[in-house]
Structure formats: structure tokens, C-alpha cells
Amino acid sequence: MTLEFCHEAEVKKKSINPTTSKFTVLHQVCNHIPSHAVSEAAREQGSEDHSRTFSHWSHLVSLIHGKLTHAFGLNDICDTLQVQSGPLSTIRGATPPSRNTLSHANRVRPAAIAETVFWKTLEHLRQRSPRFGRRTFPGKLGKLKRSIHLMDSTVIELVAQCMPWAQHRRRKAAAKCHVRLNFETLLPSFILVDAAREHDSKRARELTAGLKSGEIVVMDRGYVDLDHFKDLDEREVVWVTRIKEGMKCEVMEEREIKAGSKVLEDHWVKLSNGEMARRIKALVVVDGTEREMTFLTNQMEWSAATVVELYRCRW
């Protein structure tokens, strides 16, 4: 095998041109949504009668437009769509809303319609292309041949006067979005929105309820709950997390570590509830800086490097 080296000037000339389209990004995204999905979702949610002048399809297109353009509010969405009403009409006859119309639709139409459309669209794409959104796992993870799920949460700031249920501090409101992500497809498998004041560990069971025996879940240490871990053990679900500060463990066995390895400790430990687990301390590179981290898992057989690599999936 021979290697051919190119001059720097030649490399710069070989520019990569992305696939072009005569349609806007909004139009291309909407083309992936089955034409029947929105009307079926509205019918299933009992909201079909509330769309006399502003259809559910136009409503969905308006919301997608707002997301793609990072709109600051309803005025941004409505003003832009009014100006672009011609191109908008080519997206299956979508019509631009007024501010009051869009505000009313957001208030009275159930959010479950959008959720139903999402799952219908995902199923449609998977039927058309069975390998849609799927990829191979990097490094050592390619040998696992198991489903890997990532769990995390993020806080979304809200307006306290509009959403009193989300009261977070005296003058602030916030919601917390919990997500379980399929690492193979990088698509969400479960999403839960709750008040930000609730601790992550209180929602851990709901996020893992759909996991099957043999599957892997990697979670932030905010979800650490020993009773929940015991439940996952009984269901034969593999879990990986970081150990919480001050968490007490009794070392039962020290495992051998290879010389020169980034793994500093590999112990079998007994947790405070009497259950066995594995504690691994290793050096991990985060944002270009090597840091010492301690991980906890119920997987006793895999190499420590594989366990560390699993947690790195979250980044």
C-alpha cells in the first residue's frame, strides 16, 4: 500500500460542497413528516374540532420554524412567516398565523399532539430506512452488542408569573427536563418535564422503567439512589454512574491493575444497603485536562477501561 502526499495548496482547492436543495431547511424538515401524522395525532388527542381557521399542520410548521430560527417570541415567528407567506404556502398549504391566533393555539391545544407526531414520524423513517439514525459504537464499546441508554437532566428557565407550578426560587421559575437517550441513534427514548425543585433521584425509576434485561444505562450521579440500584440489579440492567461525595462503601476485594494504566483503583465494595458494587477510580481527560474520577457500577466482569469509556458516552 502506498501513501500519496498532497501539497497544502492542493488540499485547500478540494473543497467539500454539501448537497444543495431548492427547498428551505424548514421545507426539507417538514417533508419528512408523514402527511397523515398530524391529523391522526389531533384526532387521537380530541383536538380536531379546534382547527377551523388555523390548522394543526400550520401550527406545527410555525413551531418548527420558531425552533429553527431561534425565535425570541411569538412576534418573531408571526412577523417572519407573514413576510414569507408565499414560500410557506408551498409546505402543504401552511398559512402564517397572527400573534393572537398562535398564542391561543399554544394555550388550548394539547402538547401531546406534537409528541404523537414525533413518534409517528420516527416510526415512518425507520420503516423507510431500517438503519435510520443508527451508528456503530466507538472504541471498546463496539464489542458490547447491547443497547446503551444515557440519562441526564437540564434546567429550563421560565417566567414565574405565567407558570406558578414551576416556582424555583422567590422570583424565579424553572422546569427540569429529564431525558433518556438511546446512544445508538442519539434520539430520545423517554422525556419527562417536572418542576426544577425536585431532585433527580426522585425521577430515576420512571426514566428506567422501560429498560430490559441486559441493557445498559449510564447516568449522572444526581440519580444515585441505592434502592433504585437494587431494583435495576434484580431486573439485570447494567448501570454505570459516578460516586457521590461522602458516599460510604466497604472495600471487599481489590482487583489487580495493569502497570501504566489510567485506572488507579478497582475495588469490589459493599454499599450501605448491603448490596455489592464495583468502584473504579481512574484518570479521565475532560476538556483537555486530566482529572481523577470515581465511578460506580454493578458490572463486575468487564474491564475497568470499558466501564470508564461507557461513562464518557455522556460527554
> pLDDT, tens digit, for every residue of 1-41?
333 444 445 545 455 565 677 889 999 999 999 999 999 99
Q: Is residue 268 part of a domain?
A: yes
Same domain? 90 vs 227: no
pLDDT tens for residues 153-169? 998 877 655 555 555 55
The yes-or-no verdict on residue 241 having pLDDT over 60 is yes
Residue 5 lies in a domain: no
Q: Could you tell me the pTM of the whole model?
A: 0.70
Compute the distance between CA of residue 121 and CA of residue 198 in angstroms, rounded to an integer. 32
Q: At what angle do helices 74-83 and 56-68 cross, to 10 degrees?
A: 110
Query: How remote is the C-alpha of 99 from its chain's centroid?
Result: 31
Tell me: do 151 and 113 sit in the same domain: no
Does 114 share its domain with 154? no
Mean pLDDT of 244-263: 88
Regarding whether 100 and 148 lie in a shared domain, the answer is: no
Structural domain contains residue 1: no
Task: Please write down the long-range contacts of 267-270, taking CB distance under 8 Å and 24 or more positions apart.
Answer: 268/300
3-state secondary structure of 284: strand
What confidence score (pLDDT) does residue 293 get? 93
Domain count across the chain: 2
Q: Examine the domain organization and report whether 33 and 158 are in the same domain.
A: no
Cβ of 104: how many Cβ atoms within 10 Å? Answer: 14
Question: How distant is the alpha carbon of residue 130 from its chain centre?
Answer: 21
The answer to whether residues 173 and 218 belong to one domain is yes
In the prediction, which pLDDT does 14 show? Answer: 52
Q: Is residue 123 located within the same domain as residue 144?
A: no
Q: Which of 87, 105, 128 is the last residue of a domain?
A: 128
Residue 232: inside a domain, yes or no?
A: yes
In a domain, 189, yes or no: yes
Query: Per the structure block, which three cell numbers stand in for 282?
Result: 481512574
What mean pLDDT, rounded, does the chain reach? 85
Angle at CA of residue 90, ends 84 and 94, nearest 5°? 75
Which amino acid, residue 31?
A: N
Residue 117, H or E segment: helix 112-128
Q: Are residues 189 and 272 in the same domain?
A: yes
94 and 202 in a common domain: no
Residue 267 lies in a domain: yes
- Is 57 within a domain? yes
CA-derived radius of gyration, the chain: 25
Same domain for 300 and 174? yes
Instruction: Give the structural domain span for 201.
Output: 139-312
Q: Which of 153, 192, 156, 194 is nearest to 172 (CA)?
A: 156
